[in-house]
């Protein structure tokens, strides 16, 4: 078997508990997804993850609460007001609670993510959280996915019923978005200070992103001791100014998921590794967290993502069963 010996040496050290450096992470990401080294990365990450998390596949749900042209203008997001084709829509309380019931009544969700837009008012965000919190079982956590916020707002989110928040310093922040990395880090620090769980991810990965860019972003999530890490590829959004760059393969996403796993398992707060969107290569490469989705989705061009990009809970369960996970 012809395998790069420096690679094998590094993998052995990682298995023994070594947290890789930026340079070592870049090295792992430098192999093509079809290489033997990438297959070994995925296989070792899968074993490390199943051992760490007890071979348990976790299911999360996400409700997209609002659709509107968003002034955040992220060049990868189908809500950007520069090219969106969506007609604005905000779920009524009845629609919101019906979707929460549909996701949570079986008690199978680990956490329910509520996604609002960058320009959704803070009052509306608090109201969405508190209404859903009153409705769903206490055992189901709530995670909020929203724009940047202050420490006092983080405390208000928590008081309203949020357990965690998804927030990321994204690839291309400041060039593909209007936000600065300082803004994103400030919010992440507010999440940590308030005691909310930090959901993080290496995203949105496109073919143009270098191993150095990804390594820096992956290690930031470990440094912040995130509750959930993960990997997500950028999807093709027609009319976006990034559309011509294309997308990475599921196999490359799985390799990156494996590399994320090898660092994230060292984080003391880590409870799961996500892959977005859910796929079998990803959950056999270290991921043990996938999301069913309903409502709007910034990676979709349909206003109702279920049946398009979004999976149902049953489809997530079947994916786990096929890959040998316990539910
Ligand atoms: S990613 Fe968020 S902030 Fe950026 S355009 Fe989409 S909804 Fe707005």
> Per-residue pLDDT for 325 more than 90?
yes
Mean local confidence (pLDDT), 173-184: 95
CA of 35 to the centre of ligand 1 (A): 35
77 lines ligand 1 (CB under 6 A): yes
> Which atom of ligand 1 is closest in space to residue 117's alpha carbon?
7
Dihedral-angle region of residue 65 (phi above 0 means left; psi in -120 to 50 means alpha; beta otherwise): alpha
CA pair distance 110, 269, nearest whole angstrom: 16
* Mean confidence (pLDDT) of the chain: 93
Residue 145 near ligand 1, beta carbon < 6 Å = no
Q: 287-322: per-residue pLDDT in tens?
A: 999 999 876 666 666 666 666 667 889 999 999 999
Banded model confidence at residue 85, pLDDT cuts 50, 70, 90: confident
Ligand 1 atom nearest to 177, measured from its CA: 4
Residue ranges of domains in the chain: 5-322
Looking at domain 5-322, its CATH superfamily turns out to be Aldolase class I (3.20.20.70)
> What is the biggest distance separating any 2 CA atoms in the chain, rounded to whole angstroms?
60
pLDDT in tens, 86-105: 888 889 999 999 999 998 98
On the question of pLDDT at 160 being above 70, the answer is: yes
Residue-level pLDDT at 55:
98
């Amino acid at each position: 078997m012809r395998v790069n010996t420096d690679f094998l040496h590094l993998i052995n050290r990682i298995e023994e508990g070594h947290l890789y450096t930026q340079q070592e992470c870049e090295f792992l990401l430098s192999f093509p997804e079809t290489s033997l080294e990438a297959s070994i990365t995925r296989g070792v990450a899968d074993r490390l993850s199943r051992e760490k998390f007890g071979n348990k596949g976790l299911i999360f749900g996400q409700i997209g609460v609002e659709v509107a042209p968003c002034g955040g203008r992220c060049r990868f997001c189908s809500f950007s007001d520069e090219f969106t084709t969506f007609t604005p829509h905000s779920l009524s309380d009845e629609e919101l609670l019906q979707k929460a019931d549909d996701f949570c009544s079986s008690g199978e969700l680990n956490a329910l993510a509520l996604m609002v837009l960058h320009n959704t008012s803070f009052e509306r965000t608090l109201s969405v959280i508190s209404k859903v919190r009153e409705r769903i079982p206490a055992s189901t956590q709530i995670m909020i996915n929203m724009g940047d916020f202050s420490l006092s707002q983080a405390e208000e989110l928590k008081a309203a019923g949020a357990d965690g928040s998804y927030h990321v310093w994204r690839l291309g922040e400041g060039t593909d978005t209007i936000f600065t990395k300082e803004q994103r880090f400030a919010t992440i620090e507010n999440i940590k200070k308030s005691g909310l769980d930090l959901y993080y991810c290496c995203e949105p990965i496109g073919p143009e992103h270098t191993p150095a860019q990804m390594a820096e972003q992956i290690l930031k999530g470990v440094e912040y001791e995130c509750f959930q890490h993960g990997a997500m590829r950028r999807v093709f959004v027609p009319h976006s100014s990034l559309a011509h760059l294309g997308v990475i393969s599921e196999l490359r996403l799985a390799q990156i998921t494996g590399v994320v796993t090898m660092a994230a398992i060292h984080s003391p707060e880590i409870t799961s590794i996500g892959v977005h969107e859910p796929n079998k290569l990803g959950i056999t490469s270290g991921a043990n967290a996938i999301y069913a989705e309903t409502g709007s989705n910034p990676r979709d061009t349909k206003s109702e993502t279920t049946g398009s990009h979004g999976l149902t809970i049953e489809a997530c369960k079947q994916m786990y069963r096929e890959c040998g996970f316990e539910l």
